[in-house]
Structure 1
Amino acid sequence: MSELIALKNISQKAADMVEEGRVHKALYSDPEIFEEELDKVFQNTWVFIGHESEVPEAGSFKTAFVGRHPVILSRDRKMNLHVLLNRCRHRGATVCEGRKGKTKAFTCPYHGWGYGLDGGLRAIPKVEEYEGVLDKSDLPLESLRHESYQGLVFATFKDDIEPLEDFLGGAKKWIDLFVKQGGGYPLKVLGEHRFNFPGNWKIQLENTTDAYHFPIIHKSFISSLDNATADIFDFLDGDGFVEDLGHGHSVMVMIPDLVDLEADLDQPIPERFEDLAQALRDEGQDEEQVKRLVRAAHGTGFNLNLFPNVSCSMAFFRVLRPVSAEVTEIQHVAIGGDGAPAPFNRKRMRLHEHFQGPMGFGTPDDGEAWERVQKGSMAGKDGWILVNRGMGNLHTSADGNVAGAVCSETGMRGAYQKYKQMMAAEGEK
């Protein structure tokens, strides 16, 4: 009973640290709060696992995490998807260590128990020793409930949670727009890279709904652009906005002209994109499709934050994984078109490398900023993190949601209010 009370008090302490326009810096570093977040947040909502294109064929798999729980996303021989806990039912060893690949089965390296792509227990060495004490059908790899929307796969430990589409709510409109950057082809993962940064997961959650930092931290990126493109990224005084989509989700529109990539296709191709346009013509694409592909190649004009762990960020997926109170893993996922012309996907990769790649302009600058926030949060005995920018200048969006200017912190406040709600819940412990 005392343990239950302690856990409840930790949760309430975290919830009390979230106010309307500020959050306490202890949320970045308190290890007790972090442990409770793994239960209250990551085990009680839909968590992004990957994209269906990462498991394209029967036998394909990729490994991922739901909070701290290792899982496998697999596709069986009937092309059905499964999300399985990566834990042998015998002595608990992981049965798959590869990030992605293709296999006929998952075999525990410790004692050789073998599992099918659907998680069913298929083989046990010296099975006669279990006669009368074990039925293989009783010990499959544990499955998680999972659902997909537009190829994005989410999983949850919570069996009675609302359907994924209800959870996504107003974010579905923006996911529909985001996938248009396949240029008329299905979206496909082209590659990824991962890195850890010494900071709390919520620091990154804040970042992709924060336009305020862009002209400051990303000066080097802006200086690497041609003048016309640099002007596009001068958006703080433009017509962009941040909209609270509910359930902790938000969208930050920085470049309104690039919200719908299938609009304005009758406009001439800008001169700076002519090399790509000609390469597509050389591939046999007609002019209408050339325009569509050129417009889609450079990504959308918005960041979509999906609580708690993934951002559809202009032209890539950014996935976070909480490792500890002061360590977070980031996965940057490059995307293109499945079956799209080679010059299109090549351009997508080069643009990804330019900003998000490990040697790009954006990732190192963001990483240093996140590290400094974590380091600074250790200063002093008391302290609050402000998320109140734009609170006095809100309006109602066309979809009936709370919205603010592009440099407002509307999205952060929405995410923290969802966090507060989940951390205050009593849960199942």
Structure 2
Amino acid sequence: MIRWVLFIAFVLFVDFYAFQGVKTSTKSKFVYAFYWLFSIGVLANVIYQLTTFNRSTGMSQAVMFAFGLVILSITPKIIALLILFSEDVFRIVKGVFNYFSSNSSSKVFLEDRRVFVSKVALGLAAIPFFSVIYGMARGKYNYQVIEHTLFFDDLPTAFDGFKITHISDIHSGSFDDAEKISAGIDLINEQASDVILFTGDIVNNTADEMEPWIPYFKKLEAKDGKYSVLGNHDYGEYARWKSSDEKEANFQAIKDIHPKIGFNLLLNNSVYLEKGTDKIALIGVENWGTRFKKAGDLKLASSKIAKEDFKILMSHDPSHWNTEVKVDEHNYHLTLSGHTHGMQFGIEIPGIKWSPVQYVYEQWAGIYSAFGRYINVNRGFGFLAFPGRVGIWPEITVITLRNR
């Protein structure tokens, strides 16, 4: 109950503060009415959705849309608030100076807000407002193919030029546009990679979320196979179940999805990819996270392979690499992860790469290296909670292995 009170208080505080800029910029009562109807309507809707949705199936699309509207409403106002607050600090400092200054002829302690500053605040606030609208309308399906070439001293000769397509975080329960999903799958196939590797979170919570999309994902093609692992959402941890048997049945149904779409699900297990007499080891662990489900067993997953083998590890959560994998004596050459989504919000332009998620995960998007080992953190194919993406687009990674 306390968190609800704090949430409502915060939202209303931001609303009232940002409204000061609106009042300074215009005297239109129509604008005032629209501002408050929209703000209160968004707040009322998210409270209604969160208090009435069916928790047995987890977060619904209606709840995600309500979250999206909250972000659409509150983010621009926070930008405006920061500018207006800066002006208020200046006004107060100036007022205090005038009050104690004998040379001051001003009788007003706190001067009126400047129209120019308020208009600048609203103008800057419009940038995230329209960015969020774009992110919800189109950004969530704005698939980007990101290519990397990685060089290794000990890559078997036959695998020089071997091409991997890495996808992650499908989150099929969030999908709402079959045409866009079909286009994304076609884009994956266009890469004509040797193998497709999927690093978990095929659903949000329940197996039936993926049922309508099985015919689409069955179309994925790779001549040397398709392999997958589980993510934290695949265990049904975030839904409310009537019994442990019901939860276990859902978990089994989620595992059964993978062969239905042609993927070999690796559950703390490994396989060899072979070309002639050369081979590389592909290892898949169950979810291993410092904050979420920890079912992965790296030692068990690697028990069938030799220490000197060239290894590719699939592990959903990049905290696994940062905590355990990168220093393991078995030398996992390349780790593939997802999970972070790049928080679906950030800035990626030449010279700038930023997202709030970087304060939680040290490796959160793209290629990182340590001790001669690499990890790729895929930004995700789907989306969750916020029904959009702003600046951090859905990703299809293509990694080419080369022998140095």
TM range (shorter): under 0.3
Give the TM-score of the pair, scaled to structure 1.
0.25
Structure 1 or 2: more strand by fraction = 1
Q: Which has the larger radius of gyration?
A: 2
Give the TM-score of the pair, scaled to structure 2.
0.26
Structure 1 or 2: more helix by fraction = 2
